[in-house]
Amino acid sequence: MSALPLLGMSEGELTAFVEGMGESAYRARQIRASLLKGLSFDEMTDLPKAFRGELHRRAVTGIPRIVKALGPDEDDTYKFLFSFKDGQAVEGVLMAYRYGNTLCVSTQVGCAMGCAFCASGLGGKVRDLAPFEMLGEVVAAGAYVRGARALGPDRRPVDNVVLMGSGEPLDNFDNVVTFLKMLGDPGGLNMSMRHVSVSTCGLPGRMRALTDTGLRVTLCVSLHAPNDGIRKRLMPVASRYPIGEVVDAARYHVRRTGRRVIFEYILVKGVNDRPEHAVELAARLRGMQCHVNLIPCNPVDHADFCAPAPAVTARFERELKNAHISCTRRRVLGADIEGACGQLKRRTVTGQEPPEGEDP
């Protein structure tokens, strides 16, 4: 029988587990508190030594190992490579902002979407991540940062979570919804869904289904183009789901939740960065409660894409604002620690990663 991942258990399930071992229910509360701090069984010193040994025989924590960590860089950004029990690995990035630390979480090993500007889908999708594995990314990153720097007693190492790492969250819909409920569990990390963003490349049916769960997350849509012609060049999913259907699903989210939608728009030199593209994008989004996040393209090895000149980006932003579309340029973080999705994993598994402790 395979060992049970305790991080994936509810409070009731964990209580039943420890009582089945002849222990009192309060041991479950001790274990859960320790798990959420990222502690191993050996580090749970408030438990009897014999009981810890029995836990080793029957269970695993379910917390992934951080096999590679880069940072903090000059922007106080960390990049992690998480490894799971089956040897598969995913990445996470923790970014420091004035309003708190934001962790970018992966939802799948690899990705089936094949976006031209992303390194995480080069090998296709390997498998979905289980809810406890996604929660484990948050726990492991929090434990690492807590140990790496002094934090006040009331300061969370991870204040916000964005599902923008490797994988398409809505392609792993049921597991992602379960993870979000675990993340917001008052007896767990108790994170408000207002501090959680779910990004999708644009699966309209799943976008509506997410809205209908009642989870008041921020919906982020990777649009990256003002029309289907350009979008198909960048994102294969556009051949199946026209941009009009994607925007309609976003409008549905706004109507049902009253919350604005964030549209991610990666600016690629010579592809989608002209003023007329901004005008067309503004016309498509007009009248919607939304915000456009402009992102200069982060260069990746497999694609001949790069960011436009700062003046071109500034003009694009100006055109949107002139059309009364809320927008900002994202602060570029993590470029010196392989910040783009899939880069650190790709370099590590191909043996091209930098020497231990050195940034590439």
Residues with Cβ < 8 Å from 322, sequence gap 6 or more? none
Active-site option among 23, 91, 133, 338? 91
Q: Is 19 a catalytic residue?
A: no
Of 201, 220, 327, 341, the active-site residue reads: 341
DSSP string, 313-327: HHHHHHHHHHTT--E
Catalytic residue status for 43: no
Nearest-10 crossing angle of helices 275-285, 243-257: 50
State the Cα–Cα distance between residues 20 and 28, nearest whole angstrom. 11
Give me the sign of the Cα torsion angle 292, 293, 294, 298: negative
Nearest to 247 by CA among 195, 215, 208: 208
What is the side-by-side strand order in the sheet with 100-104?
65-70, 78-83, 89-97, 100-104, 160-163, 196-200, 218-222, 261-267, 290-296, 327-329
- Chain length of the chain: 360
> DSSP per residue over 324-354, as a string?
T--EEEPPP-SGGGT-STTHHHHHHHTT-PP
Residues annotated catalytic, as ranges: 91, 341
